[in-house]
Amino acid sequence: MSEEVKSLNFIEHIIEEDLKNGFAKNDLKFRFPPEPNGYLHIGHASSICLNFGLGLDYDAPVNLRFDDTNPTKEEQEFVDAIKKDVAWLGYKWAEECYASDYFQQLYDWAVQLIKDGKAYVDSQDSTAIASQKGTPTQAGTNSPYRNRTIEENLELFAKMKNGEFESGAHVLRAKIDMAAKNMLMRDPVMYRILHKAHHRTNNTWCIYPMYDWTHGESDYLEQVSHSFCTLEFAMHRELYDWFLNQVYDENKVRPKQREFARRNLSHTVVSKRKLLRLVEEKVVTAWDDPRMPTISGMRRRGYTAAAIRNFADTIGIAKRENLIDVSLLEFCVREDLNKVAPRVMTVLDPVKVVITNYPEGQEELLDAENNPEDENVTYRKVPFSKELYIEREDFREEANRKFFRLKLGGEVRLKNAYIIKAETVVKDDEGNILEIHCTYDPLSKSGSGTPESTRKVKGTLHWVSIKHALKTEVRVYDRLFMVAEPDADKEKDFLEFVNPDSLQVVTGYAEPSLKEANIGETFQFQRLGYFCVDKETSANNIIFNKTVGLRDSWAKLDDK
């Protein structure tokens, strides 16, 4: 028996290499570090699956670290949503950490840097500082404040911390090299003054550390061994290492930053800032609008955690950015729901069928299979009666030989029920079909064991008994953007490409078993797709979100 060998991605190769070179397996530790300035999206899911997946593979702890250093954009609401999403994806973090818990330690280290002559207070505004940065080919210019004495720097920095200056009056900068090739090394800002309450530290601090100063030191404090981030931070690695060098103790694990490519999905945007605009400008109803590529939106739409994990696994980790087609995500969703979603019948665009030879007033409860994919198949009851709905597009008065649905003089099987034959139609004055009059074959009942019950007819239709039908609201979604890459054209605002028809609300006529459906449950509406009960559902209004269509195997029978 050959053992399945999992091929390693380049990130796993990095870890394997470190282990080979003597890094202790017990010291492996990872983290997922979201900024709580919005809801997580499908791009974050890649990072979550990468980090927590490594945790599982190497039996190593993974921290959930909130990178909460910018109180102007961060909120508790986002912290709560992020925790919920990571847990829903099926992962357990070892520790819940906050960069803000390290503010005092970071401050103390910054004071040490000043004492070592490696940091100084700059009293210029951001425009002046930017104008001295130079260009990639030209060295920058030293700030006139670069040579302040240590005493003066210590005093100013203490005053900054004590709230004696206005926002923006001074910054603390690392004193590295204004001629460095890597422009990020040209005396980067470590602290800024910001008089703004923080969602966790309230008004304790009015100076806030910048990302570069915070991230590596947080990794170090948590003893994260491998800190994976997206490619735009590749240039920051040198600074990450420089800051680490200032505090690193050889007896401790030294975190290592490595980069992988951001994941982009077609027909949507994956950036919290852009998603926020969709919410604020009311293009969508909320962060968890089912059209959003947020984890909460996908959950509400009926995507499963298993499908999202499987998608992340399938696309893997890359070194270069590329665009993943959203249809691959939909494929993963469909594949998972096919296994788990119970089958039901709902008609979305009804036309009435009257079975003329079915006894007036008679009703029967027919057995319907819940899910043919289940190992142990179970059944539910579906009521049948003289008057039914079928989909309007499932009937034609005349059609060619390849139309296997219902046509005058033709036969179809009603799923779980009988074979019917269309005899005549009743129309209104404008020629619209009001009723299709059919006859049924009483011996053809599915599962009844008669020869007629297994008689083959080419088409099978879903249907619902009018008298028993449950009226539901069905929200049918299309892609939120009309083009694959709405934010590719930097000259244009991505909102210009919003699809105006991304939401269509229709009435669905459902079999009565759906009365019992719970919020969040997903069903396969046979021949139509997967649908999930929305959270806005109330006792007298069941609302469904269309999760994804079927790759309709029945469609190939038809020649539209």
Binding site for Mg ion (CB under 5 A): 35
Q: Give the DSSP letter of residue 261.
A: P
Residues in contact with ligand ATP by CB under 6 A are: 33-35, 43-44, 46-47, 67, 229-230, 262-263, 270-273
Least distance between ligand ATP and beta carbon 247 (Å) = 22
User: Residue 427 forms beta bridges with which residues?
Assistant: 433
Quick one: tokens of 449?
């064991």
HEC profile of 280-338: HCCCCCCCCCCCCCEHHHHHHHCCCHHHHHHHHHHHCCCCCCEEECHHHHHHHHHHHHH
Q: Choosing among ligand ATP, Mg ion, none, which partner's interface includes residue 229 (Cβ < 5 to 8 Å by kind)? A: ligand ATP
Q: Choosing among ligand ATP, Mg ion, none, which partner's interface includes residue 44 (Cβ < 5 to 8 Å by kind)? A: ligand ATP
Q: Choosing among Mg ion, ligand ATP, none, which partner's interface includes residue 43 (Cβ < 5 to 8 Å by kind)? A: ligand ATP
User: Residue 469 forms beta bridges with which residues?
Assistant: none
Least distance between ligand ATP and beta carbon 146 (Å) = 31
Cβ proximity to Mg ion: between 196 and 396 the closer is 196
The angle subtended at Cα 474 by Cα 522 and Cα 84, nearest 5°, is 45
Cβ proximity to Mg ion: between 35 and 452 the closer is 35
Q: Choosing among Mg ion, ligand ATP, none, which partner's interface includes residue 263 (Cβ < 5 to 8 Å by kind)? A: ligand ATP
- Asked if residue 257 lies in contact with residue 231, where contact means CB atoms within 8 angstroms, the answer is no
Cβ proximity to Mg ion: between 122 and 259 the closer is 259
Residues 6+ away with beta carbon under 8 Å from 507: 348, 471, 472, 473, 474
Cα–Cα distance, 534 to 364 (Å, whole number): 31
Q: Choosing among ligand ATP, Mg ion, none, which partner's interface includes residue 292 (Cβ < 5 to 8 Å by kind)? A: none
Cβ proximity to ligand ATP: between 48 and 414 the closer is 48
Say what angle helices 211-222 and 237-247 make with each other, to 10 degrees.
Answer: 60
- Asked if residue 537 lies in contact with residue 552, where contact means CB atoms within 8 angstroms, the answer is no
Least distance between ligand ATP and beta carbon 227 (Å) = 9
Least distance between ligand ATP and beta carbon 23 (Å) = 21
Catalytic residue among 161, 192, 272, 407: 272
Least distance between ligand ATP and beta carbon 57 (Å) = 18
Least distance between Mg ion and beta carbon 255 (Å) = 20
Cβ proximity to ligand ATP: between 51 and 502 the closer is 51
Chain residue at closest Cβ approach to ligand ATP: 43
- Asked if residue 305 lies in contact with residue 522, where contact means CB atoms within 8 angstroms, the answer is no
Query: Catalytic annotation on 6?
Result: no
- Asked if residue 57 lies in contact with residue 14, where contact means CB atoms within 8 angstroms, the answer is no
Amino acid, single-letter form, for residue 515: K
The DSSP line for 461-517 is: E--EEGGGPEEEEEEEE--SBSSS-TTS-TTS-GGGGB-TTSEEEEEEEE-GGGGGP
- Asked if residue 436 lies in contact with residue 425, where contact means CB atoms within 8 angstroms, the answer is yes
Catalytic residue among 73, 146, 258, 262: 262
Q: Choosing among Mg ion, ligand ATP, none, which partner's interface includes residue 46 (Cβ < 5 to 8 Å by kind)? A: ligand ATP
Residue 294 φ/ψ, nearest 5 degrees? -75, 155
Cβ proximity to Mg ion: between 232 and 363 the closer is 232
User: Residue 510 forms beta bridges with which residues?
Assistant: 346, 470
Residue 272, CA distances (Å) to 34, 86, 199, 291, 294 in order: 11, 16, 19, 15, 9
Quick one: tokens of 345?
């019948």
Query: Catalytic annotation on 133?
Result: no
Cα–Cα distance, 114 to 172 (Å, whole number): 9
Q: Give the DSSP letter of residue 152.
A: H
Least distance between Mg ion and beta carbon 222 (Å) = 20
Strands 543-549 and 529-533, how do they pair?
antiparallel
Cβ proximity to ligand ATP: between 47 and 446 the closer is 47
Query: Catalytic annotation on 343?
Result: no
Least distance between ligand ATP and beta carbon 40 (Å) = 8
User: Residue 122 forms beta bridges with which residues?
Assistant: 171
Quick one: tokens of 276?
């926020």
Q: Choosing among ligand ATP, Mg ion, none, which partner's interface includes residue 285 (Cβ < 5 to 8 Å by kind)? A: none
Quick one: tokens of 107?
């401050």
Q: Choosing among ligand ATP, Mg ion, none, which partner's interface includes residue 33 (Cβ < 5 to 8 Å by kind)? A: ligand ATP
Cβ proximity to ligand ATP: between 222 and 511 the closer is 222
Q: Choosing among ligand ATP, Mg ion, none, which partner's interface includes residue 271 (Cβ < 5 to 8 Å by kind)? A: ligand ATP
Cβ proximity to Mg ion: between 83 and 274 the closer is 274
The angle subtended at Cα 536 by Cα 534 and Cα 537, nearest 5°, is 75
Least distance between ligand ATP and beta carbon 494 (Å) = 13
Enzyme catalytic residues: 35, 262, 272
